[in-house]
Structure 1
Amino acid sequence: MTNPVLAVDQGTSGTKALVICPERGVIGSASAPVRPRFGAGGVVEADPAELFDSVVDAGTRALAEAGEPAVAVGLANQGETVLAWDPDTGRPLTDAIVWQDRRAAGICAELADREDELRKLTGLPLDPYFAAPKMAWVRRELTREGVVTTSDSWLVHRLTGEFVTDAATAGRTQLLDLDRAGWSAPALDIFGLGGERLPSVVDAAGEFGTTTAFGGELPLTGLLVDQQAALLAQSALEPGTAKCTYGTGAFLLAQTGGVPRRSSTGLVSCVAWRLGGRTSYCLDGQVYTAASAVRWLTDLK
């Protein structure tokens, strides 16, 4: 019998977990809600403890429903959400600044004359949606202590003690050299982040430590940002194949192969994934509000 794996997707509005057997399909599933806080001035924050607890809760209950142990766990993350945290203890130093948060708009306005340079370096337009403006805002407005990273690095550190991020998630920061799939010193300097300690950029599949958060000891062997994870899961492996998924937002991604294709029509060029040291790229079209609008309507009854 083929051994199952635990797949966990830590998203904006909740965490979903599936126990998947290659032969029998999904044999266990669970979800745990996450409720971001919305405030004036474009504030969208989440409690880091709630993010981590939702991962453990959903994963543990999915394994309980499956009734058998998994042999590995993979983690997908929400991408551009950031926080500052203590790398020695793992303690959060700020709330999680969610990808929808717009408080870094002023920093983007200050750097408007560097947008073309940043787009050439990273493939991304200058927008507070991406992680780097938020990271710079955290350093300016909240704390100079610890490290400031995307939420996946903190979750992985809490699970395994490692300090890593996958190439596709790193590509959502606006700090990754798109052509090399490594951190860009010029981009870091533009955002005033040149002295930051950053996680190692790793492939989407590998050995990223072990965790006991779900019961027994499990190796963490998969890391990928959510939308690119969906592109891979839909087997969009050939250039020109595409998928659209609907969650808090809706995102249309098209695979472009081993060479980045920079768009002049509003699409974002980014890393799809890196596997076996080989980088694949995609174009990304974003609709920031989809299911979140439905939740807003239900909250209004």
Structure 2
Amino acid sequence: MTHLLAIDQGTSGTKAIVVDYGADGSGHVRSVAEVALRPQYLAGGAVEQDPEALWDSVVEAGREALAQAGVSVDGVALANQGETVLAWDRHTGRPLTPAIVWQDRRAESVCAPLADSAERVAQRTGLVLDPYFSAPKMAWLRKNLTGAGVVTTTDTWLVHRLCGAFVTDASTASRSLLTALDSPSWDGELLELFGLAGETLPTIVDCDEIVGETDVFGPTIPVAGLIVDQQAALLAESCLEPGAAKCTYGTGAFLLAQLGATPALSSSGLTTSVAWRLRGQTSYCADGQVYTAASAVRWAVDLGLVPAADQLDTVAADSSNGVLCVPALAGLAAPWWDSGATASFTGMTLSSGRGHLVRALLDGIAAQVTALADLVATDLGRPLTRLRVDGGLTRSTVLMQAQADLAQIPVDVYPSLHATALGAAACARMAMDPALTPAEAVGPWTPVHTYHPQWPAERATDHMSRWRRTAESTLRNRGETS
């Protein structure tokens, strides 16, 4: 039996699991440890984290999961936030700046002057010229915080602390705006564009590569299985064939669809990036982002609309009573890509109560994911036939039923709340056993529940039409929808 420690270092917390793999290839989660993190949401669209808190959470969660499991493990895998960056001293490992979180919008000042290059950037990278991605944040950090040390995504820093390697994986690199979509290396033209040509950047490795050894968690074990969190969940949920799609409901909601070996560019405002590089072969995915999902729920909790996140279904009314919500609390991503868009509740009257607002918020999250699903269908040339889902908010029956109703497709709930960590573990399994295929490394699974649409198609279409009009009214440049 193989035992692996897999760590999901996320925005709102770090989770560590120990997974046992038996003879049938299925993974059993033996232990789970979580350490909460709370990003700082500051004026001007700033979102920051304390890097040392990130590191401490990785060490604490990893050690606790191992202590609970009571077994020795064969390796440790790491899934990361994807686009969060920091500057740090490569010799000492000491952070030189806060971690600039993927939600941070201050790099708009970097993107705006490059608007004439936006089409070229999109064609070359598969991404959108937007502060969401790594390179604008790196350039902003260099201009405003420090020119010292190296500036990288958080995975490179964490892995360096674990084992001394200076690496990032292919999926994380593809989220940077610094690699061409069809190339596994840093792109000189793009580095020049963002003013980063002189930077020392990490080596790009495969997701199933052993990059070093660490004794941070106790006995020395290999470090292997590096991947972006959302792509890790795509792998865990067996989205291996073109057209298979999943949505993770975490701090944000992220819908990814497998494209296979062909990096087709989106025609509808989505992004295309590397899903993973396994066994020397690259798979690509289309993806869309909802910037605020669980973070919107946390906002509602902080305001007193909901006592706690696990009471959403208790508070939410059976319907929103005409209230519509666009949960653009940190701007809108695809297809609008407007960092200045703001959240809204509309359609309220004196009869609107707390339950209606909470229901509208959940409907609004589901509506934004549905909008992304429609864009994926446009790019694929055929509608999605079902949606696999994971993340903490899948525990909300109200949200999941709303998702099935608005998207008009079955919604399969992944049977574990640990999809991201399990996807990273699958990558590590492949690093440890060269004979395994991706399907074998993931192993079999069955949905814990499937939600089927209950609304007629006409009602869903009408709701989405009204919601889209409302979303467009929240844009900074109203009337511009791309």
TM-score by length of 2: 0.62
Higher strand share: 1
**Deviation of 1:266 (Å):** 1.1
Native 8 Å contact 1:165 1:201 kept in 2 = yes
| Structure 1 residue 33 corresponds to structure 2 residue 42 | no
| Structure 1 residue 16 corresponds to structure 2 residue 19 | no
- The match for 1:115 is 118
Q: Equivalent residues in 2 for 1:24-63 (5 A)?
A: 25-63=28-66
**Deviation of 1:31 (Å):** 0.3
Take 2:272 and 2:289, find their aligned partners in 1: how far apart are those partners? Answer: 12
Native 8 Å contact 1:85 1:148 kept in 2 = yes
Letter paired with 1:85: W
Letter paired with 2:174: G
**Deviation of 1:121 (Å):** 1.0
- The match for 2:271 is 268
Take 1:279 and 1:176, find their aligned partners in 2: how far apart are those partners? Answer: 14
**How many residue pairs end up in the alignment?**
300
Letter paired with 2:21: P
Letter paired with 1:8: I
SS at 1:56's partner residue?
A: helix
**Deviation of 1:211 (Å):** 0.9
SS at 1:208's partner residue?
A: strand
| Structure 1 residue 66 corresponds to structure 2 residue 65 | no
- The match for 1:290 is 293
- The match for 1:97 is 100
Take 2:2 and 2:239, find their aligned partners in 1: how far apart are those partners? Answer: 25
| Structure 1 residue 249 corresponds to structure 2 residue 252 | yes
Native 8 Å contact 1:7 1:75 kept in 2 = yes
TM-score by length of 1: 0.98
Take 1:170 and 1:230, find their aligned partners in 2: how far apart are those partners? Answer: 17
| Structure 1 residue 6 corresponds to structure 2 residue 2 | no
**Deviation of 1:180 (Å):** 1.1
Letter paired with 2:16: A
**Deviation of 1:240 (Å):** 1.1
Q: 1:137 aligns with which of 140, 143, 149?
A: 140
**Deviation of 1:57 (Å):** 0.8
**Deviation of 1:198 (Å):** 0.4
Q: Deviations over 1:51-90 (max 9, x none)?
A: 0110111111111111111111100000100000011111
Kindly report structure 1 stretches of 4+ aligned residues shifted beyond 6 Å. none
**Deviation of 1:276 (Å):** 2.1
| Structure 1 residue 219 corresponds to structure 2 residue 218 | no
**196-205 or 17-26: which moved more?**
17-26
SS at 1:223's partner residue?
A: strand
Take 1:158 and 1:102, find their aligned partners in 2: how far apart are those partners? Answer: 28
**Deviation of 1:199 (Å):** 0.3
Native 8 Å contact 1:10 1:76 kept in 2 = yes
**Deviation of 1:221 (Å):** 1.2
Q: Which runs of 5+ in 1 are unaligned?
A: none
**Deviation of 1:253 (Å):** 0.4
- The match for 1:189 is 192
Take 1:183 and 1:228, find their aligned partners in 2: how far apart are those partners? Answer: 20
Letter paired with 1:187: L
Q: 1:205 aligns with which of 208, 217, 226?
A: 208
- The match for 1:125 is 128
Letter paired with 2:17: L
**Deviation of 1:216 (Å):** 1.2
Take 1:37 and 1:180, find their aligned partners in 2: how far apart are those partners? Answer: 35
Native 8 Å contact 1:16 1:29 kept in 2 = yes
Native 8 Å contact 1:181 1:279 kept in 2 = no
Take 1:36 and 1:169, find their aligned partners in 2: how far apart are those partners? Answer: 21
**Deviation of 1:3 (Å):** 2.2
Identity among equivalent positions (%) equals 62
Which structure has the bigger radius of gyration? 2
Take 2:19 and 2:249, find their aligned partners in 1: how far apart are those partners? Answer: 21
